[in-house]
Amino acid sequence: MSTTGSRGLLRGLLIDITPLRISPAFRRVFIARAISLLGIGMLVVSVPVQMWELTHSSVQVGAATAVAGITSFAGMLLGGILADRFDRRILILAGRSTAAAAFAGLALNAVGVFGGTPLVWVLYVLAGIDGLIGALSGAALMAAVPTMIPRRHLAAVGALGSLTVRVGTAAAPGVAGLIINFGGVSWTYTVSAVLATITVLILLGLPSMPPHATLADAAPTGSPDGGGDDGDTVAGAPPVRPALGAFFRESPLVLSVMLIGMVTMLGAGLVALLPALVAERFDDRAGAVGFLMAATAAGALIATLTSGWISGTRRPGVVLLTAAIIGFALIAVLGTVPTLWVALLLVLVIGFLDAIQEVVRYMLIQQHTPGPLLGRVNGIWMAQEISGVTVGALAAGAIGAFWAAPTAVVIYGLVLVVFGVVAAAALGALRAVRGIDTRESEITASK
């Protein structure tokens, strides 16, 4: 193979940064989101640490975490509805500004400004507000991005978003730990407030993003691919908001992606069985759970960095279903392996396949949802993924209560394989969907 051919192959494999090059608005969003993930990640560490310092109660720590989770779930659903009613730029800026104020309030509470000493109820309230508002602005942001970037590049957008999440998830806890060690939680809150303020300043440069905006390269209304604005417009009257239920009935593809996404998220419940698996199969080896989780994250990161091929796949739905079923089968195999290094290799591949599914799901949902519905669809999708992880952990834990961990892992994996096969058989729209012809898209865009 020639040097030129090798370079072309490498470019087609590595993560595609085209969205960052072609859209100044998306560059602002990308940078602001990366910064905000660092602040949110530090909050995830700081609130439990401070709650333990104040109460020495695991129940209170769990309750504080639950409050943030519940308000985030509500914020995603509410944010999706609002993003289809109001200018998304205003919602994003309002959300990030409120988040900055909530972080600042947490910092002030940590040094005793409100009551002489830190108040537990203030911690609950501000953590809940931050979860609610952060998710609300996140839903608006998700809805706005596909109106900035042509559909042929949305797989790259999904990969870039996944990359920021992976890096932020890895970096934020360590940064928070260092700051807490040297200055206490008040400083993590302060740094988070500063970071949130910086994101507001960055996002001020975004253009107006009305809820009736169509996808960046949407086809006209009524086109076969359903890419246009579904709302009929009368001169002098506001656009009609399309009905979500009618969209799901008439365009089953997006609903199919959400359903397989729910099944896929159940696989994340494997983490609930890992400590017992390590204790029973790998002699409770020190650090093994951490190694397994790190290997999963490493596999996901590798998949993200080598995701350039996804946008050109001709049968993205088949890729999604195949990756899901293979990943579930590997979970079942994990329960049978006798050595830790084989387990590490397996979870590396599981993490790789999970990230591939994540990027494909994002691509399909954004490509096939009309602009005026992006808020509600993305809000439901984000909330559904969180609920799927929760249900998966509960289900895996329940199976682990009846069987030894290795057997429980095998059973859990096999049940998921059955779910995946049934989904593949039932979701015909997903099997049939074709990828966007990037060559035709480039020709169309140049006309």
> Domain limits at 103?
21-203
Give yes or no for a contact between 22 and 153, defined as CB atoms under 8 angstroms apart: yes
State whether 403 and 259 are in the same domain.
Answer: yes
Quickly list DSSP for 407-433. HHHHHHHHHHHHHHHHHHHH-HHHHH-
According to the model, what pLDDT value does residue 237 have? Answer: 45
Q: Exposure of 6 by Cβ count < 10 A (0-12 exposed, 13-18 middle, 19+ buried)? A: exposed
Provide the b/e sequence for 13-32 (b: ≥16 CB within 10 Å): eebbebbbeebebbbbbbbb
The answer, yes or no, to whether residue 194 has pLDDT greater than 90, is: yes
Average confidence (pLDDT) over 108-128: 91
According to the model, what pLDDT value does residue 7 have? Answer: 52
State whether 168 and 109 are in the same domain.
Answer: yes
In angstroms, the CA 405 to CA 403 distance is 6
Q: 224-238 pLDDT, tens per residue?
A: 344 444 444 443 444
Give yes or no for a contact between 192 and 39, defined as CB atoms under 8 angstroms apart: yes
Separate counts of helices (H) and strands (E) for the chain? 18, 0
113: CATH: 1.20.1250.20
CB atoms within 10 A of CB 324: 28
In angstroms, the CA 195 to CA 37 distance is 10
State whether 263 and 174 are in the same domain.
Answer: no
Least confident of 73-87, 160-174, 320-334: 160-174
The answer, yes or no, to whether residue 410 has pLDDT greater than 90, is: yes
Number of domains in the chain: 2
Which one, of 284, 241, 32, lies nearest residue 138 by Cα? 32
Of 149, 170, 203, the residue at which a domain comes to its end is: 203
Of 203, 234, 268, the residue at which a domain comes to its end is: 203
State whether 171 and 258 are in the same domain.
Answer: no
* Band (309; pLDDT cuts 50, 70, 90): confident
According to the model, what pLDDT value does residue 443 have? Answer: 39
The answer, yes or no, to whether residue 384 has pLDDT greater than 70, is: yes
Domain-embedded: residue 215: no
Domain-embedded: residue 175: yes
CB atoms within 10 A of CB 213: 21
In angstroms, the CA 373 to CA 214 distance is 9
State whether 80 and 170 are in the same domain.
Answer: yes
Domain-embedded: residue 211: no
According to the model, what pLDDT value does residue 232 have? Answer: 42
In angstroms, the CA 321 to CA 421 distance is 8
State whether 327 and 389 are in the same domain.
Answer: yes
Domain-embedded: residue 235: no
Q: Which of 58-67, 93-102, 225-234, 275-284 has the highest mean pLDDT?
A: 93-102
**C-alpha 33, offset from chain centre:** 12
According to the model, what pLDDT value does residue 421 have? Answer: 95
Domain-embedded: residue 176: yes
According to the model, what pLDDT value does residue 442 have? Answer: 44
According to the model, what pLDDT value does residue 316 have? Answer: 93
* Band (158; pLDDT cuts 50, 70, 90): confident
Domain-embedded: residue 447: no
Least confident of 21-25, 26-30, 94-98, 140-144: 140-144
* Band (3; pLDDT cuts 50, 70, 90): low
Of 203, 236, 261, the residue at which a domain comes to its end is: 203
The answer, yes or no, to whether residue 8 has pLDDT greater than 70, is: no
According to the model, what pLDDT value does residue 246 have? Answer: 82
State whether 198 and 249 are in the same domain.
Answer: no
In angstroms, the CA 380 to CA 382 distance is 6
According to the model, what pLDDT value does residue 45 have? Answer: 81
pTM over 0.85: no
State whether 186 and 280 are in the same domain.
Answer: no
Q: 207-227 pLDDT, tens per residue?
A: 988 887 776 665 444 433 444
According to the model, what pLDDT value does residue 63 have? Answer: 83
Tokens of 93: 């800026």
Domain-embedded: residue 403: yes
Q: What is the mean pLDDT of the chain?
A: 83
Give yes or no for a contact between 136 and 82, defined as CB atoms under 8 angstroms apart: yes
State whether 305 and 422 are in the same domain.
Answer: yes
Would you give the DSSP letter of residue 221?
A: T
Domain-embedded: residue 231: no
Would you give the DSSP letter of residue 206?
A: P
State whether 187 and 251 are in the same domain.
Answer: no
The answer, yes or no, to whether residue 439 has pLDDT greater than 80, is: no
State whether 256 and 126 are in the same domain.
Answer: no
For the chain, give the percent of residues with pLDDT over 70: 87
State whether 84 and 160 are in the same domain.
Answer: yes
